[in-house]
Amino acid sequence: MAAGAASGGSAVTDTYKESRTWLLMPAWLTLSILVLAPVTMMLVYSFLTKEFRGGVIWEFSLAAYDQFFFDRGLFGDEAPKVEWTYILIFWRSIWQAGAATILSLVIGFPTAYFIATRPEQSRPLWVFLITIPYWVNLLIRTVSMKFLLRDQGPFNDLLINIGLIDTPIHIINTNFAVQLGLFYSYLPFMVLPIYAAVERYNFTLSEAAADLYASKWVTLRRILLPAVKPGVIAGCILVFVPSMGSFLAPDLLGGAKNFMIGSLIEEQFKGNAGNWPFGAAASMILMTMVLIILLIYARQQARADKVEG
């Protein structure tokens, strides 16, 4: 993860050079069986003709991509216009995932900083504490969250009992509930890489900045943040990407009223639609988008490294 990127450099001597091919085999096998093969299958399926009620007919077709980008009316015989439905669904997903990422960053950064500034021997304990809730299945955690947040749930009861509010705050089945659910689901992915980056940060740099009359805010912005940036960006990507494709939180906490990309794709395979090529096409478009985001990040990193170097 970020650790590798930051410590940098490759080993000068290659101890296992002779057996390299064999040692890399497991990685190659995993990659080709679990990544390449499914992605290739998806790519192929997205260009096939849909079979009624699921399945594909082995004939080349662009219908899936056409459906995604062009609106031909309810009956499919009007002049094509730009189809906004799916773009809207994608935009909503990006927005929700973005909000969840920012929430995670706001809570995750101070948490990571806190852990990294504890005495060295107690840090593993804090990291351990962060991961404990994640030993429980995601579905169960999401359902529990629904129980906690509901109008007559413990959260609202507590706020009413201590006199903070009179009527329950309506959270469940709103966009905010979805963001909260995503934030909670993926928080450790934000905390851990930032923690790894802050832990390696040389705190004497902050002291030096203070000696030179930098305010705390300036120290944070100009000294600490640039130093831990790779960790922050890695954390953001690790939260943003799975959030985009998630469908548990939107279904359970958001009331499934509005499709997110994940639920749209799920519907093509598990719902009435049974339109496998369209599901595959939507997945490919999602993946392409994520890849572009990652490429932009990688290129900027490379440029930044060049400027620094």
Partner 1 sequence: MRNLMKISTAALALTLGATAANAEGKLVLYHWFEYIPQDLLDKFTAETGIDVTMDTYDSNESMLASLKAGAIGTYDLAVPGDYMVKIMADEGLLDTIADGELANKGNIAQEWADPSFDPGRAHSIPYQWGSTSFAVNRDVYQGDINTTDILFNPPAELAGKINMLDSQGEVMAMASLHLGMEQCSNDRTQLKDLNAMLTAAKANWASFNSDTAKEVLVSGDAAVGQIYDGFSAKAREEGANIEYAFPSQGYVVWMDNVVLLKDAPNRENALKFMDFLLEPENIAAVSNYARYASGVNGVGAFVDPELAKLPEGNPPADAGTPVFIEVCNAETQAIYDKIWTNLKK
Distance CA 218, CA 206 (A): 10
Nearest CA among 194, 183, 197, 193 for reference residue 133: 183
Contacting residues for 236 by C-beta, under 8 A, at least 6 apart: 101, 104, 105, 190
Distance CA 253, CA 248 (A): 8
Distance CA 193, CA 67 (A): 39
Smallest separation, CB 75 to partner 1 (Å): 6
Smallest separation, CB 112 to partner 1 (Å): 35
Smallest separation, CB 135 to partner 1 (Å): 23
Contacting residues for 149 by C-beta, under 8 A, at least 6 apart: 155, 156, 171, 172, 177, 180, 253
Residue with Cβ nearer partner 1 (156 or 185): 156
Residue with Cβ nearer partner 1 (197 or 280): 280
Smallest separation, CB 144 to partner 1 (Å): 13
Which residues sit at the interface with partner 1, rule CB under 8 A? 52-55, 74-76, 85, 88-89, 147, 150-152, 172-173, 251-252, 255-259, 263-264, 267, 269-275
Residue with Cβ nearer partner 1 (11 or 140): 140
Q: Look-up: residue for tokens 């201590």?
A: 162
Residue with Cβ nearer partner 1 (149 or 239): 149
Residue with Cβ nearer partner 1 (185 or 275): 275
Smallest separation, CB 86 to partner 1 (Å): 8
Residue with Cβ nearer partner 1 (71 or 220): 71
Smallest separation, CB 55 to partner 1 (Å): 5
Residue with Cβ nearer partner 1 (76 or 309): 76
Cα–Cα distances in angstroms (integers) from residue 239 to residues 126, 131, 242, 286, 291, in the given order: 20, 15, 6, 16, 15
DSSP type of residue 271? S
The answer to whether 120 and 143 have CB atoms below 8 angstroms apart is no
Between the CA atoms of 270, 247, 256 and 140, what dihedral angle is there, to the nearest 10 degrees?
A: 100
Smallest separation, CB 282 to partner 1 (Å): 11
